Structure 1
Amino acid sequence: MNRRNPLAMLLLCIISSLMLLSACSSSADTQAGKEEEKKEHKYEKLVKEKNKELELEPIELTSYSDEIGMTLSGPEHKEFAANGNVVVEGEIEKHTGLKSDYAWIKVRSTGEGPAGDQLEYYTPIEDGKFKQTIHFFNGEGEYSVKVQLPSKDQENYFYDTAAFTVHNVNPEMKRDVTYTPFGRDAGLNVSLDSSFTKENEVFALQGKAGELTEEDTIMLKLRKDTDTWTHVISVKDGRFSYDVPLFYGKGVHELEVLVPDEERENYYQTATTILIDNESSRTMSPIEYSDTYMERGVTLETPLYGGDESEGLYTVKGSIDPKAEFGPQTDHIYITTKKGEDEALDVIPVEDFTFDDSFYLRFGPGTYEVTLSVPEIKEENSDSFRFYGFAKFEVESTGEDKRDLLPSRGVESDDPKIKELAQKLTEGKKADRDKVKAIYDYTAKNVTYDVEKLEDEEFEWDDSALKTLEEKTGVCQDYAYLAIALLRASDIEARFVEGMASGGWWPQRHAWVEANVDGEWLTMDPTWGSGYIKDDKFVADFNEKYFDPDKAEFEKTHTRTGVSY
């Protein structure tokens, strides 16, 4: 009986399997190689067949070529066939007197194609020699090529030196990434294999600009038909990146990348051009940026475009350049939302030079105009704040109108501390009027008036209900913030009323509260209900006179000018 070693048998099986897999893999690779070779032979055969139809006359050079001693080693004929690319190569004997260091090669397609009808190459002339491989951006078809060389006498002037026609037999489309002299001088290099690409709604532009500093900027210019959008982006560590929205729907967008002109201030020159075929039919609204955007070093990451839809809560995200003017002092961003005649102001913090926060579109469904602003940076105190818009866009909201219930600037009605206190104050009370009275009483009894804050105008952008609750002191706005936050946390509509009040010789700006009780707006002024000022000092003296006061009596001292959101 013939016995075999089981281990030897297992090894034999494994080796056989590996040999089989190796053979299969090698066979597959060989097959793919053969297919590619077959394909290449096909186009080379077509080139030969096409060239037989043509006379293949020698290429003719212009008189300017003789003047500067230019010879062309490639191509050799003025009309010929090619398989996907052509090498243009030449030498200039009298190159030292030329006014530019670049040969200008212009390629034009005689037929229509998605990648445009022309492409230009600026090819460096080094020691009198230049060499450029050109591909054919629309694939198979006829192309005319012109070679121009710089003048000996005039700056930015080029003369024709040679022209030829190419019949490309290869259907592959390849639009080379080309750079102008300005782009080359800036060390520009975009991260693309082709300057014609297909994208969906957004194109992620990335690249290097090795000769630009962080003080320089790059301009983007996007076009489609008659629409144009322009934006300026920063350069950091010799690199740049930006997600470019393809605003104008389906079809080819032309993106021009421009770099600063060293000889002219605030002027840009084309560095390269990219064609982007947008596959999405969605149209978007460009964001309007002001000069403040660059001056204050803002980068807005979200949103990239206007026209977004929202259910009523919208997020903005971005950063502040710490090296920009007032960069370290910019610790908050203002957000103005307008819908028709209604307008609201929100504030979001900037922490570690970044901001990422949400705000409410509080006036119900419709189109909102949103403006983002940076604050004026000043040393002196003030009871008012100035700010400068850096971006403006639209948002379409489907949210409900809850303007008097939602949290707002200075009114953190959704904060756990506020909600806990509101529940404690209203516990056991069924009638809204009783709840409102309890909140009035608490605010008037527990907050002292800050006379020094008023006199020294020590108002801060983060004055709020939470701040008042913690410090237990403030001026009229702070009383109002706290009362409104407690009311809204109790599901009672409340609003911040602005006006004038006269307790002495002259009327002063003042703020108080209105609460919706059983469908009627009830007035209350917890500031005046907390006490009075005597000899520039606050005297605590709680009274109920300013809870739902007689309207006629109240208007003798209070003049209502509007509601602030």
Structure 2
Amino acid sequence: MKKLLVSVLIIISMIASPMAIAASSAPLVDTAKLEDGIVTLSYSADARLKVIVEKDGQQMIYDLRNDGKAESFPLQMGNGSYNISILENVIDKKYKYITTKQVELELDDEKKVFLTSIQNIYWNDSMDAIAKADEITKGLKSDNAKIKAVYDYIINNVDYDYSKISTLPSNYVPNIDNTIASGKGICYDYSSLFAAMLRSRGIPVKLVKGYSKNVNGYHAWNEVYDSEAGKWITLDTTYDAELKAAGRAYSMIKETAHYSKVFEY
């Protein structure tokens, strides 16, 4: 996997050294699913929490629930040594380290991380969206046929929600069942739904954030692994749903050169 050069969008001022600090409940960095390329974190606090996943000087920064409910985060920057930290807000944008744990990732196939359920691509077999994925791909033999079935379902059944973007909290993460039930969403919802549905079918999919020549402003789309071609291909269900709604021509596979990646999950 190519290393992803990450530019951190959230600037955080840190105070205190990266060591464990006494708190009302013990922070948990669970590595039970490390063989799948993810870690699971939880912590209870009265303040806002952050997670920093760091490897070779590159950082991915996430919000973490402060109610103690566990969330999973990917180690998507390739095999090697990672530092996983939980931080707690002190004041304004200042955070203190609560705990840091070093883990070693040694996947035999680095695509495995893109099959998992994580914070912003959360799924399980009991969810309606996953039942729909099973329904629309039943009997299909090839990965490409399953990719096309999920792609067609989303662009035909999810409309862009122009009113949603202005009301979102800064820590918003998609809920794929809400997207299915409402039949609408923003690009983040489209790309999370597409990734979850195909990951549940055993097909590696990335949720990608960045910029596209086709879209104004910050955007989210997908890369899916084409097992027949042996490479990642770029798809943008949000853009194609809009083209379809406007009666314009569209094609499933996009020119990767038209997309500029900032983050991938």
TM-score (normalizing by structure 2): 0.73
How far did residue 302 of structure 1 move? 3.4
**Structure 2 unaligned spans of 5+:** 1-15
Question: 1-side partners of 2:101 and 2:81: how far apart?
Answer: 7
How far 1:542 sits from its partner (Å)? 6.8
RMSD: 3.6
Percentage of identical aligned residues = 22
**Aligned-residue offset at 1:369:** 0.8
**1:492-516 deviations in whole A, cap 9, x for unaligned?**
1111222323458xx4211111100
Do 1:496 and 1:513's aligned partners in 2 also have CA atoms closer than 8 Å? yes
* Aligned position for 1:545: 250
CA distance in 2 between counterparts of 1:374 and 1:368 reads 20
- Deviation of 1:435 after TM superposition, in Å, equals 0.7
| Deviation for aligned residue 1:345 | 4.8
Matches within 5 A, 1:403-422: 403-417=113-127, 418-422=129-133
Question: Do the aligned partners of residues 319 and 498 (structure 1) sit closer, same or farther apart at CA in structure 2, a change above 3 Å counting?
Answer: closer
Query: Is the contact made by 1:311 and 1:399 (CA closer than 8 Å) also made in structure 2?
Result: no
CA distance in structure 1 between the aligned counterparts of 2:89 and 2:192, rounded to whole angstroms: 21
Structure 2 Cα separation of the partners of residues 377 and 485 of structure 1:
36
The secondary structure found in structure 2 opposite 1:437 is helix
The structure-2 alpha-carbon separation of the partners of 1:372 and 1:531, relative to structure 1 and needing over 3 Å to count, comes to same
SS in 2 for 1:409: coil
SS at match of 1:410: coil
1:559 to 249, 254, 259: 259
User: Are residues 1:499 and 2:229 paired?
Assistant: no
1:393 maps to 100
1:390, 1:524 → 2: CA distance? Answer: 38
Report the number of matched residues. 239
Matches within 5 A, 1:326-405: 327=47, 330=48, 333-340=49-56, 343-351=59-67, 355-360=68-73, 362-363=75-76, 366-374=80-88, 388-397=95-104, 400=107, 401=110, 402-405=112-115
Letter in 2 for 1:562: V
Q: Partners of 2:222 and 2:19 in 1: how far apart?
A: 36
Asked if 2 retains the 8 angstrom alpha-carbon contact of 1:375 and 1:387, the reply is: yes
| Pairs within 5 Å for 1:125-144 | none
2-structure distance, mates of 1:543, 1:415: 35
Are the equivalent residues in 2 in contact too, given 1:302–1:315 (CA < 8 A)?
no
Query: How far does the alpha carbon of each residue in 1:276-314 deviate from its partner, in whole angstroms, 9 at most, with x for none?
Result: xxxxxxxxxx9526xxx79xxx535135xx9x9755154
Letter in 2 for 1:479: Y
| Structure 1 residues 467 and 419: alpha-carbon distance in aligned structure 2, compared to 1, 3 A threshold | same
Describe the shift of the 1:360–1:431 C-alpha distance in structure 2 as closer, same or farther (beyond 3 A).
same
1:459 to 1:478, Cα distance in 2 relative to 1, 3 A: farther
- Partners of 1:335 and 1:396 lie apart in 2 by 15
Amino acid at match of 1:288: M
Could you list the per-position Cα deviations for residues 374-421 of structure 1 after superposition, in whole angstroms to 9, with x for gaps in the alignment?
47999xxxxxxx784533412324563422111223201335213322
> Which residue number corresponds to residue 448 of structure 1?
159
Aligned to 1:475: 186
Give the alignment partner of residue 522 of structure 1, picking from 228, 233, 249.
233
Could you say if the C-alpha distance between residues 492 and 309 of structure 1 is closer, same or farther in structure 2, counting changes exceeding 3 Å? closer
Q: Tell me the residue number matched to 2:3.
A: none
- Does the CA-based 8 Å contact 2:71-2:118 persist in structure 1? no
2:8 equivalent in structure 1:
none
Q: Is the 8 A contact 2:160 2:186 kept in 1?
A: yes
State yes or no: 1:461 paired with 2:166: no
SS at match of 1:561: strand
AA in 1 matched with 2:102: V
Q: Is the 8 A contact 2:55 2:81 kept in 1?
A: yes
Counterpart residue type for residue 390 of structure 1: Y
Q: Is the 8 A contact 2:121 2:196 kept in 1?
A: yes
Q: Choose from 14, 22, 26 the match for 1:301.
A: 26
Matched AA of 2:219 = H
**1:367, CA displacement in angstroms?**
2.7
Secondary structure of 1:403's aligned partner: helix
Using CA pairs under 8 Å that are at least 6 residues apart, name the structure with larger relative contact order, 1 or 2.
2
Q: Which residue number corresponds to residue 9 of structure 2?
A: none
Rg larger in structure: 1
Alpha-carbon distance between aligned partners in 2 of 1:477 and 1:432, rounded to the nearest angstrom: 23
- Of the three residues 190, 213, 222, the one matched with 1:513 is 222
